């Protein structure tokens, strides 16, 4: 603090207003005159010289050190005299911007400070947030202030049956999670908005629809980073004791245990966790984050519609890329907390089996976090182009599965298929009688022609092992060109639920035309035709389904 206003020193004004000053509160008066500001700047100069090893007089290096490492700014409060201007110009020359509450001329980026140099006319209730933003300060939340224990130790914890206080999603209700980018002024960092009933408003054993909307803003934030932040929701919520989270996007699933509810855990705390941890782990790519939580049906459905449109755009970004053209694939080991030997290898033509990560997302995630779960995997020598096996990929799988697996075939369901984890959007299973495969998505709850419902299938094959005859995959993958190419490709698909067929209808039609069978979607049976192999076989014969004349799928 320096200077005075209308004859009263800054420090005196604070004391009069009952504000405690001194080193304890970091409110230190450098002197009664405006020129005392120089002591604050001298302090920064000392820091650059002592900690940065910069020689006295080397003003350019001191500026760079201060700009990059001393996160200071000036707040001229009240009428700005010529002397104030002169001092503010000095601060700017040390990389410290000035944020004023009066309408003085603004100086926007010119290359000395990180962003703007002078920002003016900022109301008092916004001035701190604006200063933080203009100076490029990053928020760090050291501890996650929630009423239950929090940490990776609780990541694999299950909440079952009698222990459930609240359940959202998982096919019982609608649930969606969506990260979206907003303009700086639209986001208030740390704000958490709850619309609809809270945990405390419903009895134990309740079910609620749920939409978690995370709105981020930042100078470095790009839409390409949205899926990366969104995929963190899964493991971050699992860090909370008594909270179980499965899935992602519009097929997420959350359970809150009775013990967590008794300790005071509320849905509001989802926002607290995401604000703290996203800042901690990904603060480099955004500046502000606010969370909106909806538990009312119409609101949740509205979010689902908006999010689905965005999911479609994200998925389409890799359209047109081929596996052959990429030397590097990416790994994802995010799901190893539930399936310790599971490794997703993500190529341009094979998205992660949860549907949340494609090759582009993994590339962006690696650039943000080079030691994270998405590592580049150099393909190396081709071992089998048709089945999708490469030497470099095998070596990576061996290491990442801790020696449990030494290879898999990315394009096969029959021959050493990829591992599956419980997050998969769909499971494909071989139907020997029909010489093809069926696909079931997480949202379909009924029996399927392989004799198992989705939940049983996911439990059986989702533990991170390679199970010939079964493979987990994303909905998007079904129409990607390499989908089970080693076993004959999409022409093997003989059954899928009507809801899934309708959801992927447009891409399925395009893919059918590409393989030269434009009416292929009509040849695929669904539950209206039958739910056993015996029931669907006559339909396939009548339609002349191509699988019936292909090589035997069982080899």
How far apart, in whole angstroms, are the C-alpha atoms of residue 258 and residue 163? Answer: 6
Asked if 466 is part of the footprint of ligand SF4 (rule: CB under 6 A), the reply reads no
Asked if 311 is part of the footprint of ligand SF4 (rule: CB under 6 A), the reply reads no
From its phi and psi, is residue 534 left (phi > 0), alpha (psi between -120 and 50) or beta?
alpha
Facing residues of 431 across strands?
Answer: 436
Pick between residue 348 and residue 352 the one whose CB is nearest to ligand SF4. Answer: 352
Pick between residue 126 and residue 235 the one whose CB is nearest to ligand SF4. Answer: 235
Contact 388, 477 (CB under 8 A): no
Asked if 408 is part of the footprint of ligand SF4 (rule: CB under 6 A), the reply reads no
Residues 118, 300, 332, 429: which binds ligand SF4 (CB under 6 A)?
332
Pick between residue 120 and residue 404 the one whose CB is nearest to ligand SF4. Answer: 404
Pick between residue 231 and residue 266 the one whose CB is nearest to ligand SF4. Answer: 231
Contact 172, 151 (CB under 8 A): no
Contact 175, 442 (CB under 8 A): no
Residue 233: CB minimum distance to ligand SF4, A? 11
Residue 146: CB minimum distance to ligand SF4, A? 23
Candidate ranges 188-196, 327-335, 386-394, 485-493; the one touching ligand SF4 (CB under 6 A): 327-335
**Coil/strand/helix, residue 119:** strand
Residues 352-381 that bind ligand SF4 (CB under 6 A): 352-354, 356-357
Ranked by CB distance to ligand SF4, the top (closest) residue is 352
Asked if 344 is part of the footprint of ligand SF4 (rule: CB under 6 A), the reply reads yes
Residues 47-76 that bind ligand SF4 (CB under 6 A): none
Nearest to 270 by CA among 249, 311, 239, 301: 239
In Å, the largest CA–CA distance within the chain is 96
How far apart, in whole angstroms, are the C-alpha atoms of residue 228 and residue 374? Answer: 10
Residue 360: CB minimum distance to ligand SF4, A? 13
Query: CB under 8 Å to 407, separation ≥6 — which residues?
Result: 383, 389, 393, 394, 397, 398, 416
Residue 474: CB minimum distance to ligand SF4, A? 8
Residue 85: CB minimum distance to ligand SF4, A? 54
How far apart, in whole angstroms, are the C-alpha atoms of residue 74 and residue 40? Answer: 10
Candidate ranges 20-28, 130-138, 206-214, 331-339; the one touching ligand SF4 (CB under 6 A): 331-339
Pick between residue 352 and residue 449 the one whose CB is nearest to ligand SF4. Answer: 352
Residue 349: CB minimum distance to ligand SF4, A? 15
Residue 40: CB minimum distance to ligand SF4, A? 47
How far apart, in whole angstroms, are the C-alpha atoms of residue 36 and residue 14? Answer: 17
Contact 353, 425 (CB under 8 A): yes
Pick between residue 357 and residue 396 the one whose CB is nearest to ligand SF4. Answer: 357
How far apart, in whole angstroms, are the C-alpha atoms of residue 281 and residue 142? Answer: 11
Query: CB under 8 Å to 299, separation ≥6 — which residues?
Result: 195, 196, 211
Query: Which pair of tokens denotes residue 448?
Result: 């399927």
Q: State which H helix or E strand residue 454 sits in.
A: helix 454-461
Regarding beta strands 8-9 and 164-169, do their DSSP bridges make them parallel or antiparallel, or are they unpaired? unpaired
| Helix, strand, coil in percent for the chain, rounding step 5 | 40, 20, 45
Q: State which H helix or E strand residue 458 sits in.
A: helix 454-461
Facing residues of 291 across strands?
Answer: 192, 214
Contact 90, 45 (CB under 8 A): no
Q: How many residues bind ligand SF4 (CB under 6 A)?
A: 12
Candidate ranges 87-95, 349-357, 385-393, 457-465; the one touching ligand SF4 (CB under 6 A): 349-357
From its phi and psi, is residue 31 left (phi > 0), alpha (psi between -120 and 50) or beta?
left
Pick between residue 260 and residue 353 the one whose CB is nearest to ligand SF4. Answer: 353
Pick between residue 425 and residue 526 the one whose CB is nearest to ligand SF4. Answer: 425
**Coil/strand/helix, residue 352:** coil
Residues 223-282 that bind ligand SF4 (CB under 6 A): 231
Residue 334: CB minimum distance to ligand SF4, A? 4
Pick between residue 293 and residue 354 the one whose CB is nearest to ligand SF4. Answer: 354
Residue 394: CB minimum distance to ligand SF4, A? 18
Pick between residue 173 and residue 477 the one whose CB is nearest to ligand SF4. Answer: 477
Pick between residue 286 and residue 476 the one whose CB is nearest to ligand SF4. Answer: 476
How far apart, in whole angstroms, are the C-alpha atoms of residue 160 and residue 255? Answer: 8
Residue 61: CB minimum distance to ligand SF4, A? 44
Residues 44, 251, 421, 479: which binds ligand SF4 (CB under 6 A)?
421
Pick between residue 356 and residue 477 the one whose CB is nearest to ligand SF4. Answer: 356
Residues 74, 254, 423, 508: which binds ligand SF4 (CB under 6 A)?
423
Distance of alpha carbon 285 from the chain centroid: 12
Residue 472: CB minimum distance to ligand SF4, A? 8
Binding site for ligand SF4 (CB under 6 A): 231, 332, 334-335, 344, 352-354, 356-357, 421, 423
């Amino acid at each position: 603090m320096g200077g005075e206003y209308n004859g009263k020193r800054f420090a005196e004004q604070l004391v009069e207003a009952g504000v405690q000053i001194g080193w304890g509160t970091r409110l230190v008066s450098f002197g009664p005159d405006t020129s005392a500001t120089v002591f604050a700047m001298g302090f920064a100069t000392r820091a650059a010289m002592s900690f940065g090893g910069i020689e006295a007089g080397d003003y350019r290096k001191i500026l760079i050190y201060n700009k990059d490492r001393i996160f200071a700014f000036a707040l001229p409060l009240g009428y700005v005299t010529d002397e104030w201007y002169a001092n503010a110009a000095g601060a700017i020359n040390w990389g410290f911007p000035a944020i004023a509450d009066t309408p003085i001329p603004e100086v926007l980026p010119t290359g000395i400070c990180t962003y703007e140099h002078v920002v003016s006319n900022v109301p008092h209730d916004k001035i701190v947030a604006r200063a933080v933003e203009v100076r490029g300060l990053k928020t760090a939340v050291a501890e996650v202030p929630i009423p239950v224990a929090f940490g990776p130790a609780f990541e694999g914890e299950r909440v079952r049956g009698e222990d459930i206080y609240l359940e959202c999603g998982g096919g019982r209700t609608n649930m969606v999670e969506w990260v979206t980018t907003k303009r700086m002024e639209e986001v208030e960092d740390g704000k958490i908005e709850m619309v609809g009933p809270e945990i405390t408003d419903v009895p134990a054993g309740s079910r609620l629809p749920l939409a978690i909307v995370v709105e981020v803003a930042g100078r470095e934030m790009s839409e390409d980073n949205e899926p990366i932040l969104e995929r963190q929701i899964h493991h971050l919520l699992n860090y909370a004791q008594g909270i179980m989270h499965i899935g992602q996007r519009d097929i997420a699933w959350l359970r809150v245990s009775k013990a967590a509810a008794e300790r005071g855990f509320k849905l509001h705390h989802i926002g607290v966790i995401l604000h703290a941890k996203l800042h901690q782990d990904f603060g480099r790519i955004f500046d502000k984050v606010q969370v909106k939580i909806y538990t009312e049906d119409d609101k949740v459905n509205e979010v689902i519609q908006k999010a689905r449109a965005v999911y479609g755009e994200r998925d389409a970004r890799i359209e047109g890329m081929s596996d052959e053209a990429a030397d590097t694939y990416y790994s994802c080991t995010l799901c190893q907390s539930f399936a310790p030997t599971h490794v997703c290898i993500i190529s341009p033509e094979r998205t992660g089996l949860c549907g949340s990560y494609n090759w582009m997302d993994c590339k962006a995630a690696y650039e943000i976090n080079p030691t994270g779960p998405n590592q580049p995997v150099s393909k190396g020598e081709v071992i089998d182009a048709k089945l999708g096996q490469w030497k470099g990929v095998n070596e990576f799988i061996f290491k990442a599965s801790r020696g449990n697996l030494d290879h898999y075939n990315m394009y096969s369901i029959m021959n050493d298929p990829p591992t599956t984890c419980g997050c998969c959007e769909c499971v494909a299973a071989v139907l020997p009688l029909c010489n093809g495969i069926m696909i079931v998505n997480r949202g379909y709850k009924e029996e399927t022609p392989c004799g198992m419902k989705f939940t049983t299938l996911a439990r059986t094959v989702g533990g991170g092992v390679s199970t010939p005859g079964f493979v987990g995959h994303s909905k998007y993958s079904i129409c990607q060109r390499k989908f089970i190419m080693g076993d004959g490709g999409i022409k093997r698909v003989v059954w899928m639920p009507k809801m899934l067929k309708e959801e992927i209808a447009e891409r399925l039609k395009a893919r059918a035309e590409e393989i030269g069978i434009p009416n292929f979607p009509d040849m695929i049976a669904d539950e209206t035709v039958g739910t056993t192999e015996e029931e669907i076989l006559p339909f396939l014969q009548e339609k002349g389904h191509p699988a019936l004349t292909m090589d035997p799928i069982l080899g």
